[in-house]
Amino acid sequence: MALTFQTVIGLEIHVQLATKSKLFCACSTDYIGARPNSNVCPVCLGQPGSLPVVNGRAVELAVMVGLALGSTVQQATRFHRKNYFYPDLSKDYQISQYDLPICAGGRLSFRDDDGVEVSVAITRAHLEEDAGKLVHPSADGRLAGARYSLVDYNRSGVPLLEIVSEPDITSPAHARRYTEEIRRLVRCLGVSDGDMESGSLRVDANISQKVSDGRWGSRVEIKNMNSLRSLERALEYEVKRQRKVLGEGGEIRQETRHWDDGEGKTRPMRGKEEAHDYRYFPDPDLPPLIVESDRLKGIAAVMPELPWQAESRLVSAYGLSDDDAKIFAESADTVAYLDGCIRAGADPKRAANWIRTEVLRVLNEQKIDLATFTLEASDLASLLALVDGGKLSTTAAKDVFDVMVRDGVALEPAMTASGVTAGLVEGSQLEDIADKILAENEEAVEAVRSGRDPKGKKVKFLQGLIMRETRGQADVAQVEDLLRRRLI
């Protein structure tokens, strides 16, 4: 009988917390593009005698994630030292949490690409400090072959929250979705920018196979996946590799493998084979970390709406489609903008539609976010009110919208600038426009009058020109009526 396999994946996600200063010192966390070893002090440089002091904001951000994941936020926790020698570690130990993580347990649920509900248990989320950065000036920038390496401690001590899942994930696609959900969560909470490319969200995966004949493949750890796409590709590659080996009766080595995005392969990592003995022990420089219940309540009280909460509210309260709701819930800012429009009187569906198509288009084009977008939600609402009241056609409204955004002006001046007035173009104004169009298109007029337009194509053409000239602000029935009278 042919063997079947079951994939078992657990993820460890390191999220850089969006604090201004580092976890244990007052140096700036803003290391991207900074001069090497400029955001440093005795603490993060591991100078003898220096001591760590905890950044309370980092603790709060960790607690927010814990509350969102339904974790138990532990009142009394502590920091341990994880001891190993490496040059990016300025003290040759990392301050992390071990037996008492700040967040214990929890769960993250989401729908997969087929709409099926998936639920992943969270083991823990703990605070720890980031390491510095190594630069390998070898020909190809890799560790292998570099005669020496350079160390920059600007990143040393940046706060990380390591979120560890149970091995509940059953496919590479689900691993990707889980990571997307974590990213959406940390962004919505304002806890991290969640950017994988720049390394503020880093995923390590543990993957193994259970075989139908009762065998279990060893667990393999995969590192260096710098995007959602490479995460999914790396895991797909690894599923195939492990199944092939096991299918041929071979064994999977327990090891750490490195994903090579260019080659599309995972490879055993060099130099990491030594069995680690981290000699964890409680950091004697840091007394127990206590999150008092008042403090916890205070954090819970200011928790923003979570993406999945927003998603279901947008469906139930505003009648948005599941797809629309999901797009909005991607960012708390977009939800707030939509809420603002509706609060100012806009119709929910029309507002959602406009934000999706027009607002997000502009944000994309200008590469900005809603925080720097000039058009207030209430201004958009008053524009949409004109459309709803039949006073402005969609076409005219879009012109006005563009002017409002371009010039950063309110509704009235934008309408003046784009030559649009509220209400229908009718009566003599419409007649003047019609006459001007007919005069400019004598050929078509002649054809209609002489009965050479049996299918009414030319009439439609003229009608279209009139509508365009009025920026859609004419009533179609009136235009048809007027044309009929003029062309007899």
Contact with Mg ion (CB under 5 A) among 60, 162, 168, 232: 162
Q: Which amino acid, one-letter code, is at 125?
A: A
Q: Is position 129 an interface residue for Mg ion (rule: CB under 5 A)?
A: no
Separation CA 384–CA 387 (nearest Å): 5
Q: Is position 379 an interface residue for Mg ion (rule: CB under 5 A)?
A: no
Q: Is position 44 an interface residue for Zn ion (rule: CB under 5 A)?
A: yes
Contact with another protein (CB under 8 A) among 10, 52, 101, 217: 52
Separation CA 172–CA 154 (nearest Å): 34
Shortest separation between residue 95's beta carbon and another protein, angstroms = 11
Binding mask 188-217 for Zn ion (x = CB under 5 A): ------------------------------
Q: Is position 41 an interface residue for Zn ion (rule: CB under 5 A)?
A: yes
- Using CB under 8 A, which residues numbered 252 to 271 contact another protein? 270-271
Q: Is position 344 an interface residue for Zn ion (rule: CB under 5 A)?
A: no
Contact with another protein (CB under 8 A) among 8, 37, 239, 459: 37
Shortest separation between residue 158's beta carbon and another protein, angstroms = 12
Q: How many CB atoms lie within 10 A of CB 455?
A: 7
Shortest separation between residue 91's beta carbon and Zn ion, angstroms = 12
Contact with another protein (CB under 8 A) among 100, 207, 220, 425: 100
* Total of chain residues touching another protein, rule CB under 8 A: 66
Q: Which is nearer to Zn ion, 101 or 157 (CB)?
A: 157
Run of H or E residues at 183: helix 172-188
Q: Is position 27 an interface residue for Zn ion (rule: CB under 5 A)?
A: yes
| Token output for 295 | 């403090």
Q: How far lies 109's CA from each of 17, 166, 180, 481, in Å? A: 22, 13, 12, 58
With 0-12 / 13-18 / 19 or more C-beta atoms within 10 angstroms meaning exposed / middle / buried, residue 373 is middle
Shortest separation between residue 218's beta carbon and another protein, angstroms = 20
Alpha-carbon dihedral sign for residues 438, 440, 446, 451: negative
Contact call for residues 422 and 415 (beta carbons, < 8 A): yes
Q: Is position 20 an interface residue for another protein (rule: CB under 8 A)?
A: yes
Taking phi over 0 as left and psi of -120 to 50 as alpha, with beta for the rest, 168 belongs to: alpha
| Diameter of the chain measured on Cα atoms | 101
| Token output for 227 | 């995007």
Q: Is position 43 an interface residue for Zn ion (rule: CB under 5 A)?
A: yes
Of 181, 192, 191, give the one whose Cα is nearest residue 63.
Answer: 191
Q: Which is nearer to Zn ion, 37 or 224 (CB)?
A: 37
- The site partner of 288 among Mg ion, Zn ion, another protein, none (C-beta below 5 to 8 Å per kind) is another protein
Shortest separation between residue 53's beta carbon and another protein, angstroms = 5
Q: Is position 27 an interface residue for another protein (rule: CB under 8 A)?
A: yes
Contact with another protein (CB under 8 A) among 290, 303, 317, 476: 290
Matching residue, tokens 């002017």? 403
Contact call for residues 383 and 411 (beta carbons, < 8 A): yes
* Contacts of 263-268 spanning 24+ positions with Cβ under 8 A: 264/233, 264/237, 265/237, 266/220, 266/222, 266/234, 266/237, 266/238, 266/241
With 0-12 / 13-18 / 19 or more C-beta atoms within 10 angstroms meaning exposed / middle / buried, residue 73 is buried
- The site partner of 162 among Mg ion, Zn ion, another protein, none (C-beta below 5 to 8 Å per kind) is Mg ion
Q: Which residues bind another protein (CB under 8 A)?
A: 19-21, 26-28, 35-38, 40-42, 45-59, 76, 78, 81, 83, 85, 87, 90-93, 100, 134-135, 143, 146-153, 270-271, 273-274, 277, 279-282, 284-290
Q: Which residues bind Zn ion (CB under 5 A)?
A: 25, 27, 41, 43-44
